[in-house]
Structure 1
Amino acid sequence: MYKLPYFTTDNQDEILDFMHKNTFVTLIGFDGEFPVATQVPVKTVIDGDSVKLIGHVMTKTDHCKAFQENPNVMAIFTGAHAYISASVYENPKSASTWNYKTVQAKGIIKLLTSEETYQVIRDLTDKYEKPESSPAAFNKMGEDYIQKHLKAITGFEISVTNIDHVFKMSQNHSAANKESIIKNLEQSDDVLDKEVAKEMKGSW
């Protein structure tokens, strides 16, 4: 990772909060010859000092086979990002850059049983669909339908062993530069630019 002290935080709650808010991760494994990757939603579970990531993948895929052979994996959490033009700096004859936030969580993956996978799917669906009112809620699906599709899915649990991060929001710049960067991003039509401006304000 491109990691410098002023682009990190000692606040572990801030890192975990970022993981809770950015649930669609890139999950990376290794099949013995090449890295394999898939994008999946995960649930971050905190139990005392331990952190676990819960999710599911399609069974007949290269990444599922890789996870069976090699349990060492990494999940990459990403947030809003934006190009930062040096044209708005006090000294515009400088290098432009990119602002972003990311967390890399390394750990050991365990593939789950059908019963455990059933609960993973239920929990994930209930998180995004209101069980009481949504017509797409888990409890509105027929059990035959669920069991049929469950055969193609494998749940997983990752016991996280290491968490690293970069929260790069122009912390190494002067107050004047930061104000100019934020103003420029806020005037953009890009949703991510506006989100980074908001993140920068929050990091002051």
Structure 2
Amino acid sequence: MRQNPSFTLASEEGVKRVIREHPWMTIVSDTDASGLVASHYPVLLDEDADGIVLLTHVGRPDEVLHELGRHEVLVIVQGPHGYISPGWYDAKPAVPTWNFVAAHLHGTPELLDDAENLRVLEALVDHFEDAMPEPRRMRGTAENSAYADRIASGTVGLRIRITRFTAKNKMSQNKPDETVDRIIGELEGDGPYASPALAAEMRRTHETLRAAKARSQA
């Protein structure tokens, strides 16, 4: 991912926030047998680990297709993104663009044993079910537990310790404040490219920038 100093997301904590809020990832492997292979899975952060460590699973036979454990993989996380019309700027000539936040994470997967895999599966289910009014747990009943044991055998758990990352947060940081406010207003509206999630991400980014600017001028 080509970097631009204005849009670089260098903070490990910033990348962790994006992962927590957007835990659906693309895993890409450059394999010996099949070349490039990509799959899509939910992930969790290992909150007890130092650095960025991902916990996830793949369905068999993806661990074979990806040759997991033999090579470094690229894990891509994508946050809010959307089209930005030049009509939201001013009367000067301009081109459209696309605002987005994304991170490319690199690491070699560690394959988990059956017990660890089951713990990761339970953690994934609990994480997403916690928001439900009546959460369904993998081991809520004897019947659920038996079913979980059966389906777990069809999956392989992974721990991916991230050794390096490249991340980008492109939120119109190169535009004046009045243009930024106009873009956010359009994204919060009801037009064809409205995106409340992208508007919220832009607002977060620019509030941080404006606060830092105010501190430097104090």
Both structures adopt the same fold (TM-score exceeding 0.5): yes
On the 8 A contact 1:100/1:167 being kept in 2, the answer is yes
In 2, Cα distance between equivalents of 1:69 and 1:124: 21
In 1, Cα distance between equivalents of 2:134 and 2:161: 32
CA-CA distance at 1:188 after TM superposition = 3.1
Measured against aligned partners, the alpha-carbon deviations of 1:113-137 in whole angstroms (never above 9, x if no partner) come to: 112111111111121224xx84621
CA-CA distance at 1:163 after TM superposition = 1.7
In 2, Cα distance between equivalents of 1:179 and 1:51: 33
Change (3 A) 1:147 1:139: closer
SS at match of 2:99: strand
On the 8 A contact 2:45/2:52 being kept in 1, the answer is yes
Measured against aligned partners, the alpha-carbon deviations of 1:26-65 in whole angstroms (never above 9, x if no partner) come to: 111122242111111111124564321101010123x543
Normalised to the residue count of structure 2, the TM-score between the two structures is 0.83
Measured against aligned partners, the alpha-carbon deviations of 1:126-174 in whole angstroms (never above 9, x if no partner) come to: 21224xx846212225333222212211111111100210000000011
Structure 2: where are the runs of 5+ without partners? 207-218
Corresponding residue for residue 122 of structure 1? 122
Q: Residue type of the partner of 1:118?
A: L
Normalised to the residue count of structure 1, the TM-score between the two structures is 0.88
Pick aligned residue for 2:151 from 149, 152, 173 = 149
Count of matched residue pairs: 202
Question: Is residue 2:79 matched to residue 1:87?
Answer: no
RMSD of Structure 2 on Structure 1 (CA): 2.3
CA-CA distance at 1:192 after TM superposition = 6.4
In 1, Cα distance between equivalents of 2:108 and 2:11: 24
In 2, Cα distance between equivalents of 1:74 and 1:192: 31
Moved over 4 A (4+): 189-192
On the 8 A contact 1:109/1:156 being kept in 2, the answer is yes
Provide the identity percentage. Answer: 25
Range that drifts further, 47-56 or 145-154: 47-56
1:1-204 matches, within 5 Å, as 1-32=1-32, 33-47=34-48, 49-61=50-62, 64-68=64-68, 70-130=70-130, 134=134, 136-141=136-141, 142=143, 143-189=145-191, 193-204=195-206
Structure 1: where are the runs of 5+ without partners? none
